[in-house]
Chains A and B, each alone.
Chain A
Amino acid sequence: MSANMSVAVGGLTLRGPVLAASGTFGYGTEVPLLERRALGGMVSKGIFLRPREGTAPPRIAETPSGMLNAIGLQGPGVEALVRDYAPKWAEWDFPVFVNINGETAAEYGELASRLDGVPGVSGLEINISCPNVEQGGLYFGNDPRAAAAVTEAVRRRTKLPVWVKLTPMVSDIGVIARAVEAAGADALCAINTFVGMSMDLNAYRPRLSFRTGGLSGPAIRPLAVHLAHQAARAVQIPVIGIGGITRGEDALEFLVAGCAAVQVGTATFGNPRAIAEVHDGIAAFLASKGLASLSDLPRYLPRD
């Protein structure tokens, strides 16, 4: 018996609960050994209206059970994304969300309107949590009014499902979660990377040229489970859990903590089969517990 793995998340039904996280899957076209059967969906690399060069190298540094990155949202801009990638996505049998970024709420709104109705784009993930840009990014993510203003600006300009990716760098994620829910978000993604730093002891300076970077990988998993759980307690809309998932049991921790689905990111760098293994691990767990459907999984979600 294989369990029913489909989930309804923020405006659409996914065939499975495991999505590829933004920034770790490119535009989906570069990925080797893509195992589509296991992919509930993917979120594209973050895009701005205009092309961006990104930060100077070194951009990444491996840390205990994790890595720091400061890529700076290098990308070709929305016009190239719509022209070069969306037509390919339109042929695929899983939904593609576009991770959108701006320096002002108006830029987010403009991006939403440019992507609304584009074949191949199934939804938007608002990034108000990138730690590696000088303007925008985190600024919007740790102020409830700014977070709501960006969400509203996007909501007004698109009929697509709107997800909002939250930053962990806040004192109370529930406040931000409620603010973007009230502003019209269909789902929340929790969480983006933590801001971290590591020093090069030969150069007597940070290992990353941007000085700081976003920490991802198993190192952040218990922190992420906690924050995703706090977000899920605070809102009625679904929460998609993100942070250090490498196998089925990791994903199940987020699901039991109240998440509707999960995203897998950094793990795919080391293991190109990570997404399929996470998906299969969840299915095997459900079967071992005699659960016919993912929706039968017991959740630990006392309401605030």
Chain B
Amino acid sequence: VFLVDAGITAKRKVARDMFVISMDAPEIAASVRAGQFVNLGWTNGPMLRRPFSVYRAYGDRIEIVLKAVGEGTAQLLAMTPGDGVSCLGPLGHGFGISAGPKTAVLISGGLGVASMPLAAREAHSLGMRVSWVHGARSADDLCSESDGDDVTWATDDGSKGFRGTAVAAAPDADLVLACGPNRMLAAVADRWPDALVAVETYMGCGTGVCLGCAVPLKHGGFDRACTEGPVYRAADVDWRALPSQLSYAVTV
């Protein structure tokens, strides 16, 4: 784990109210795996860091995706190239994609798209054919960037692509990866028990000591989204006991 003073290098808009921020974090860029996250803090920011999946990593840089959903994210969004953030990571256990499957489907809802580009890169490097399925409320809310051999869009209002959820729109594949609101992941679990899903929780330390990010497990007990997670086998999570609607969650 590295603690890096990361300079922000660029910001671009990818959907309504949704931005990608790039920052210099060479050690993290070199070691991050799909599904892992960084915990960001900044001067005069909130007391607790804010966790973000790493969206892309190339050269010395990593990217994250964010929407201004609270005061903290609004501050981060107001930063411009030249500003700096304290970046702790890479954290957590990612998708752990390994060779074997011939096809992979990457299903994301809203901000859940954040963990998919690295997953696509790893799946591609292992020779898999990648289907990209991304859903949101409406066309303007869809992340404009995609990275699949085929791409399916889904919107609740039917304004672009499939009318309905990303889960309903997704094809079957040897490997199913998903990230989005917990309610969406529960639907993934119903259809593909062996899917690997990145859950969403409130988080305190991000490093495994505070036990604040408890994920209820099907066989009983809790473990830590920040350490054993955030990626789980879909059927292993007790979805009824996991809060489905965090205040900053983005619904599809």
A→B interface (CB under 8 Å): 23-26, 30-33, 45, 53-62, 65-67, 69, 71, 74, 200, 202-203, 217-218, 266, 268-273
Q: Is B98 located at the chain interface by the 8 A CB criterion?
A: no
B214 pairs with A54, CB closer than 8 A = yes
B1 pairs with A33, CB closer than 8 A = yes
Apart from the given pairs A60-B202, A74-B214, 18 other A-B contacts in the complex at a CB distance below 8 Å: A26-B209, A32-B207, A58-B202, A59-B211, A59-B213, A60-B203, A60-B210, A60-B212, A60-B213, A65-B47, A69-B204, A71-B211, A74-B211, A74-B222, A202-B247, A270-B41, A272-B88, A272-B207
Q: Is B3 located at the chain interface by the 8 A CB criterion?
A: yes
Q: Is B243 located at the chain interface by the 8 A CB criterion?
A: yes
Given A32-B88, A67-B204, A270 and B211 contact (CB-CB distance below 8 Å): no
7 A-B pairs closest in CB distance: A60-B212, A26-B209, A30-B208, A32-B1, A269-B205, A57-B214, A71-B211
Max count, chain A CB within 10 A of own CB: residue among B49, B201, B214, B241: B214
Q: Is B221 located at the chain interface by the 8 A CB criterion?
A: yes
A24's contact among B88, B209, B242, B245, by CB below 8 Å, is which? B209
B interface, size bucket:
20 to 34
Q: Is B227 located at the chain interface by the 8 A CB criterion?
A: yes
Given A24-B209, A31-B207, A53 and B202 contact (CB-CB distance below 8 Å): no
Given A26-B209, A269-B210, A272-B88, A57 and B220 contact (CB-CB distance below 8 Å): no
Which residues of the other chain, A, contact B211 by a CB distance below 8 angstroms? Answer: 45, 54, 59, 71, 74
Q: Is B216 located at the chain interface by the 8 A CB criterion?
A: yes
Which residues of the other chain, A, contact B212 by a CB distance below 8 angstroms? Answer: 59-60, 69, 71
Q: For residue A272, give the distance in angstroms from its CB to the closest CB of chain B.
A: 6
The chain A residue sitting closest to B88, CB to CB, is: A272
Q: How many A-B residue pairs have C-beta atoms within 8 angstroms? Tell me.
A: 102
B247 pairs with A269, CB closer than 8 A = no
B→A interface (CB under 8 Å): 1, 3, 41, 46-49, 88, 201-216, 220-222, 227, 241-243, 245-247
Which residues of the other chain, B, contact A269 by a CB distance below 8 angstroms? Answer: 47-49, 204-206, 210
CA distance A117 to B156 in the complex (A): 63
Q: For residue B86, give the distance in angstroms from its CB to the closest CB of chain A.
A: 8
Can you list 12 pairs linking A and B with CB atoms under 8 Å apart?
A24-B205, A24-B210, A53-B221, A54-B211, A57-B222, A57-B241, A60-B203, A60-B212, A65-B47, A71-B214, A74-B211, A74-B222
B48 pairs with A200, CB closer than 8 A = no
Q: For residue B80, give the distance in angstroms from its CB to the closest CB of chain A.
A: 23
Given A32-B3, A202-B247, A26 and B49 contact (CB-CB distance below 8 Å): no
The chain A residue sitting closest to B86, CB to CB, is: A271
By secondary structure, the B interface counts as: loop
Which residues of the other chain, B, contact A53 by a CB distance below 8 angstroms? Answer: 220-222
Which residues of the other chain, A, contact B205 by a CB distance below 8 angstroms? Answer: 24, 268-269
CA distance A32 to B208 in the complex (A): 10
Q: For residue B246, give the distance in angstroms from its CB to the closest CB of chain A.
A: 8
B222 pairs with A54, CB closer than 8 A = yes
Which residues of the other chain, B, contact A273 by a CB distance below 8 angstroms? Answer: 3
B204 pairs with A60, CB closer than 8 A = yes
Which residues of the other chain, A, contact B222 by a CB distance below 8 angstroms? Answer: 53-54, 57, 74
B47 pairs with A58, CB closer than 8 A = no
Which residues of the other chain, B, contact A266 by a CB distance below 8 angstroms? Answer: 47
Which residues of the other chain, B, contact A58 by a CB distance below 8 angstroms? Answer: 201-202, 243, 246
Which residues of the other chain, B, contact A33 by a CB distance below 8 angstroms? Answer: 1, 3
Which residues of the other chain, A, contact B220 by a CB distance below 8 angstroms? Answer: 53
Q: For residue B173, give the distance in angstroms from its CB to the closest CB of chain A.
A: 30
Max count, chain A CB within 10 A of own CB: residue among B1, B205, B210, B215: B210
Which residues of the other chain, A, contact B242 by a CB distance below 8 angstroms? Answer: 57
Q: For residue B45, give the distance in angstroms from its CB to the closest CB of chain A.
A: 8
CA distance A26 to B211 in the complex (A): 9
CA distance A271 to B41 in the complex (A): 8
Which residues of the other chain, B, contact A59 by a CB distance below 8 angstroms? Answer: 202, 211-214
Q: For residue B52, give the distance in angstroms from its CB to the closest CB of chain A.
A: 15
Which residues of the other chain, B, contact A31 by a CB distance below 8 angstroms? Answer: 207, 209
CA distance A102 to B53 in the complex (A): 39
Q: For residue B6, give the distance in angstroms from its CB to the closest CB of chain A.
A: 15
CA distance A200 to B248 in the complex (A): 12
Max count, chain B CB within 10 A of own CB: residue among A32, A54, A67: A32
Q: For residue A54, give the distance in angstroms from its CB to the closest CB of chain B.
A: 6
